[in-house]
Structure formats: structure tokens, C-alpha cells
Structure 1
């Protein structure tokens, strides 16, 4: 599967993968392009993504990694840095306060492709597909909002949250993974 490249003058390019390298964050491979679409900082968590579709893709993946791996000491700052205010954030913070996260994820899923399903300058939705260690593929939407000069994750409240779906057909998805060169 190959991503469509290039764009015409009808709008932003929603199918080109960001030009990024992949690094391990908490045991999970995540893309980074500090001289391009971001993040511009990793302190305390990856933030500072470009106001582009590719910046949104990087923010979506790095945000999901941060949600899964940020340790007990840093998660409150992480939540205030990368999460958009709202009921979904409030519910996530309440649930996270009851957990303890330390160390690295063992046998994590790997991000393998994305599809931007909705995009404008203020809000976007990126469908992220991951491949699990057993080979199964699932996809789940990640919503973002442009706030404070950065893309922030918009967490749905518990009643509106969508479960991941099996992603057998990836023909409409832009390949983007650590194994891709």
C-alpha cells in the first residue's frame, strides 16, 4: 500500500506521511520531526506540532503514546499540556488518578498507518491504525483541536467514546510506521 503524494490547489495534502524518524517513548515507537512538523519540545511531553495535517498526525500518535506511558509524576503536567479542556479530559484525569504507570510497555502495538477523516484549521480527526504483536490490526479515531498554538487531543466523554474496530482493509490508509523507509 502506498500513500498518495502531492496535492493540488484545492486544499491541504491529507495523505502524505510526515517526514519523521521514530524513537522509543515508554517502550512504544513514536514519530518525531523536530525540524519539521514537530514536536518542538519533549519537556515534559512531546508538544509543539505544526499547524498542518502532518503536524496533526504526529500530535495524534505522540498524544496516544503519552496517554499510555506518562509516569505518575508527570501525568498531570502532560494532561494540561496536550489535552483539550472538556468532560472527556476531566473523566480521563479522574480515572488516571486511580492508576500507577511506571516502566515501559512490553510487547506494544505499533502504529502502521493513518487516515485523516476530517480536517480544517481548528479541528481534525485522524484514524490511527495499529498492529498488535499477534498480527491483528485495529483502528480508532483521534480527535484534535488547534488551541494555544498546538494540536491538543480532544478526549470523548465516556458515553461518546468509540471502541477500536478491526482494520483488515487498509487500502484507504496512508502507510506510516517505524519499519517504513
Structure 2
């Protein structure tokens, strides 16, 4: 399941293969045009990925250059300065190495993982390891069963629960299709020159989805 569906992804599949074996077995090799083949440039960042990383303060408002873009079944917050700077057909990438860049990555990447290119997104934008193996196996199992997802909410707020420069936890506030709000959190890590989602040990994207009566404690996107 996905963040778009506002439910916690399925758990319980046993995985013994390595990350590379699991991804290749499910999705096959990537084509030459896929992001895997983007070369690394100076400073460890992908070529053609340059952001202004000077603002290391935690945001207290939405970005002044906020732009909403359609991403699958939901409108996602983006910023020409903080990212994603590249919105390719396969995935959206190149976020600023700042708290605001982490916030935007925490919104965008989980949504991408609900699309048809989720295998490539998992390989490129999720921290590798056993947790990713579990996520891939569980996601593939759910896909085979053609599980239906629930109604889609809308991003309305966020807060930065923690930020260290190399890792961050971002709280997300969404509208509840049944009324009120829903909140959850996503963790990201700076790896290979961009933000990547750090899954929980069991392969879940986020710990839980909670009912939220008010938006107190969140910075509103203002849209």
C-alpha cells in the first residue's frame, strides 16, 4: 500500500534474497534511459543536480516558491529551489540538502512508490538493506493480489520532527476523506547526493496513520 492510499503498507513476507537479487528478479534491469545511469558529478551529486543548500534552518512557513504538481492521484508540493529539480517520467529527484529539501522528498518519494515505476523508485530512492527487501517483496505480493486502495487525501501541512544534516524525520498532515485530518511521519537520509526514504525495520514506509482532530503543531501549506 502507499501513502496516497493513507494506509500502512502490508507486512509479513519473508525475504532471503539480497536487495539486488530481489529488485532484478521482480523488475528486471533498468533501461539506459533510467535514472540508475545518471553519472555522478563533482561533490558526489548526480550530474545536472545542483541546489542552493545554504539555508539549513528548519522551515517555519511553506516555501515562497511553492508549486503544486500532479503526481499520480495526488497534488504534490514542489519548489524550484528546494526540489525536486528533475521530474522525469520514471521518478522525481534532486532535492536540496536542506530541511526544506528533506520535507519535499518525504512527500514525493512515498507517493512515487505507489506508481507503476515503484521498483525503480525503490532501487533509486529508498535506502538499501533488509528493510527495502521486505518492502519490495510485500509490495509485489500486494500487487499480485490486486489489492484495492482506499480514498485519496490531500497534503495540507508538515513539520520537521528531527534534522541532523544527514537524516530527517518529517511529519505529514493530510485531509481525511471521512472528515478531519490524518497524520503520519516519513524518515529520509542523505545518501549518494540526494534524499532517500529510510524504511522501518519491517519494511514499512511510516509507523502509523493517526486521526488528527486539528492541524495544531503543523505548518500549513496554504493551498
TM-score under structure 1 length normalisation? 0.80
- Count of residue pairs brought into register by the alignment: 162
Cα pair 2:132 2:203 within 8 Å, conserved: no
> How big is the alpha-carbon RMSD for the aligned residues of Structure 1 and Structure 2?
2.3
Instruction: Decide which of 104, 108, 127 is 1:58's aligned counterpart.
Output: 104
Identify unmatched segments of 5+ residues in structure 2: 1-55
Cα pair 1:109 1:131 within 8 Å, conserved: yes
Deviations along 1:47-71, whole A, 9 cap, x unmatched?
A: 1100111111110100121122x11
Q: Find the aligned partners of 1:147 and 1:63 in 2 and give their Cα distance.
A: 14
Paired residues for 1:4-83 under 5 Å: 12-18=57-63, 19-33=65-79, 35-43=80-88, 44-68=90-114, 70-71=115-116, 74-83=117-126
1:121 corresponds to 2:165: yes
Q: Find the aligned partners of 2:118 and 2:151 in 1 and give their Cα distance.
A: 22
User: After TM superposition, where is structure 1 displaced by more than 4 Å over at least 4 residues in a row?
Assistant: none
Aligned residue for 1:170, secondary structure, equals coil
Deviations along 1:112-132, whole A, 9 cap, x unmatched?
A: 111101001100000111112
Deviations along 1:63-86, whole A, 9 cap, x unmatched?
A: 121122x11xx2221111111112
1:108 corresponds to 2:157: no
Looking at CA atoms only, which structure, 1 or 2, has the larger radius of gyration? Answer: 2
Deviations along 1:123-171, whole A, 9 cap, x unmatched?
A: 0000111112222311111000001111110010228862112222322
Instruction: Decide which of 188, 194, 197 is 1:150's aligned counterpart.
Output: 194
Once the two structures are TM-superposed, the CA of residue 42 in structure 1 deviates from its matched residue by 2.0
Once the two structures are TM-superposed, the CA of residue 106 in structure 1 deviates from its matched residue by 8.0
Aligned residue for 2:141, secondary structure, equals coil
Aligned residue for 1:116, secondary structure, equals strand
Name the CA shift for 1:146/1:159 in 2 (closer, same or farther; >3 Å): closer
The residue aligned with 2:180 is 136
1:86 corresponds to 2:132: no
